[in-house]
Amino acid sequence: MADEILCQVKEGIAVVTMNRPESANALSRSLMIGLRETLNKLEMDDSIKVIILTGSGEKAFCAGIDIKEREKMTQEEVLRSRSLHVMPLFRDIEEMTKPLIAAVNGPALGGGAELALACDIRIASENASFGLIEIRWGIIPPCGSCHRLPRIVGSGKAKELILTGRIIDAKEAERIGIYNQVVPYGKLFDTTQKLAEEINKNSLVAVRQAKRAMNVGANLHMAMAFDYEASKECYFVRDTEGPGLKGKE
């Protein structure tokens, strides 16, 4: 588990890296546990003012839930994992008082797209596509994106992206506001680091309170709880007409 999460800290800025490049940094149970533990420690550390979240390698920021691991699980194990690992991770991220910047180093798909949206700011490399593709598998985004995405891009565009499961490239994601900035891969870390340093210069209390003030009206706790329950309704329904399920028996 320790090798799946890397953490470097320098002058009040922590860089957290999901380190499963061979699996496109997919969210296995161990990675989610490690990520949650790491972020909670950083949240409690008063010397840390800004956190950068990224993935290892150029293949992906995060490809979402680890499908290979999921396919080996029973229905009860899937529900237990969602209850014990998936939802607590996203709740903890939502409750963080410190700014969380996503350095999106590659495609962010499914749960990976939800992870990027849960961050406060997203800086992406040119190869960083974006897609909430859950609808293709007969489910919905369960971790708050049905509410986060409309706040970012507007209701109509959010419905278009979620109901089609369409994957868009980095430039399109930047144009509609999902990615704050798109840069060449080689400049991603420097650009994100400079932004973190700019935030780091300001008062920790003021930064926390500004983030809190912007988030206070969102009521994401109730929204995420609804998403979770709504996704359970369709999670085990066999819909062979969905593009992600054709041919599955």
148 close to 102: Cβ distance less than 8 angstroms: no
Tokens representing 246? 């054709």
Query: Which of 11, 58, 114, 160 is an active site residue?
Result: 114
Active site residue 22: no
- For residue 212, give every residue at least 6 positions away whose Cβ sits within 8 Å of its Cβ, in sequence order, or none: 97
Q: How far is CA 47 from CA 9, 12, 37, 42, in A?
A: 10, 6, 17, 9
* Length of the chain in terms of residues written: 249
Active site residue 174: no
Helices (H), 140-245: 145-153, 155-164, 170-175, 188-200, 204-215, 220-235
112 close to 60: Cβ distance less than 8 angstroms: yes
Distance CA 136, CA 200 (A): 40
Read off φ and ψ for residue 72, nearest 5 degrees.
-90, -5
Query: Which of 134, 174, 229, 241 is an active site residue?
Result: 134
Q: Which residues participate in catalysis according to the annotation?
A: 114, 134
